[in-house]
Structure 1
Amino acid sequence: MSADTIRSPVMTTPSVSVVVPTYRRRDNLTAVITPLLDDAATGELIVVVDGCDDGSLELLQGLARSNPALRPVWTINQGGAAARQHGIELATHPVVLLIDDDVIAGPGLVSGHAAHHAQADDLVVLGYMPTRPAPEGARGRFATGLYAQEYEAVCREYERDESMILKKLWGGNVSIRTARLADVPYESGRFSATNHSDRDFGLRAHKSGLRGVFDRELLAQHEHVRPLDAYLRDARRQGEGRVLVHAAHADVAGQLDMGGTIRDLPAPLRVALVGLERQDQVAGLLTWLLRLVTLGAGRLGLHGIELGLAKFLRRYETRAGMREGLQRLELERQDAA
């Protein structure tokens, strides 16, 4: 098939298999699935319950009795990437739309994705999902604000340079032709227990010749909520995932740059962070104390102090995850030798 044929504007608008992996978000599920089921382009909605016992499966099974397009699926807990891949393998429609379980679709989201795929069959289509501002005084409000800043910065990068859409793919509202996922599976294995499975998928899609499209009109709202402990766990997982990304895709992503994680910090903070990392015997105690101070600052309304300490702790946890990832790679190399 020629490129002209592939990109013909008269291709039939495809129906969509929407895949939502979920873990312990029962209270969110009705809000997540309702706009997806209401969209005329949704051929089926596959919700994969990733081994949790919070009543999510029972809720979905009850809703499915009056919504034949809804397909609840249970799988043993293996992480979001594996659950997502399981749902993809069950998909029966020409396009798969991957939505996170804390993302609320706007009107016509599924149809909008389908319209893009009606124009070409070599696309990875990325929608826009701005973060809903956290209520004043909410636990972890600073984490939502920082997440939103990072997300918007990446979206602006997409618009400056379309090649970055796949090189820095930010999942949660992304679609692709089902047939393409046979050649480029979402899960590549190594990222199932850490973050950046979406970036790994984007880089593999880029190397396979697929094209990224970012469309702000494919609108959804991200209900991001992270208390401090979860925020810092994410940071450590992101650090480990970053190591894997650069190890697997050095030809596109380049070599890992540990220094880049602190280069933008003021000199006193850089010195303090590196000094803390060298205190092997007491680093755990010191970071625990910093967490307590961060939480206390938030409760007292000292949000500037809360934000500054949270940023510092996040850099520490990210770098700790990177060191763990590098150690794991080195052990793998030794075992393979």
Structure 2
Amino acid sequence: MKPQYERVTIPDGCSIRVYHRQLAQIPFEWHHHPEYELTLTMNSRGRRFVGDHIADYSGDDLVLVPPDMPHTWASTEPIDAREPQVAIVVWFSGDWARRMADCCPEFASLRTLLRRGAPGLRFSADASAAMRAKVDLLLDAAPRVRLAAVLEILVQLAGDHAEPLASPSAHINAMRAPDGGVRASREPGSEAERLNRVLDLLDRRFSEPLRIAALCAAANLSERSLHRYFVRHVGESVGRHLSRLRISYAARQLTDTAWPIAVIATKAGFTNLANFNRQFMSARGMTPSAYRRFFETYGHAPQTEAMPALEARSPSLDRLRKRRTEP
């Protein structure tokens, strides 16, 4: 069984993403993504699948899933039929966690957690209870409150006596699906790897006049296939994603530097200042000069884009679920 690639997006201005999932039943959705995932499943019984690990779970189930490890939970029933089944999911990148460990000695134990987490980890009942006690903070409207709660939880988990889940072969060389099939996690021709190559190229060279042919060559895909993959997993077209990268870069420079707006536009990849002004206005709701004045007046950038709701799931898996349930 081929796992679905999930494109996890961490919003601008955030270091991590929290997802609050409430369902009558947790469906089997075999998937993977390049981020670490910490999931606390509550009021639920069923089976847990992480790599080649399969086991029953019940009650408060707290698990760390490493990057690109296929996984899913599939419930059979709620513990309390009057309440929904709940999953509190935290996504974060390994690079971010390692940077925190490098710059802050208080978080040095994060490196230990990442190293131990290679096969996936199931944490103790005490650790599950400690995370459950912080659910209100994890779901707080303020990103900095959520971040502080996540950092405290991760440091606590680094010292927990957790149970490894997947076998060494599952997290070193291959990913084993629940039906017994084996899939290479970093196979060069895999859909996830192709898409990752394009996203990496866009992240590194967004300021250059990139042509679609260069992106197709990086992914070894036709233009039509690249467009289909991108919309399916990222939730928008290549052009729209590239514009977002450029506008986000420009917004940061407007608040972090005193560069002239024309210089910022050029460094962001816009060859025409009028076009930059139009696109910035469309994306942020104000001109670049007004954006800068707002920051100088109030000391923070205006919140011109809505923060994704904690209940919003990744577009790729949401569309997959809808396709499977539509008649």
Normalised by the size of structure 1, how large is the TM-score?
A: 0.28
Q: Which has the larger share of helix?
A: 1
Normalised by the size of structure 2, how large is the TM-score?
A: 0.29
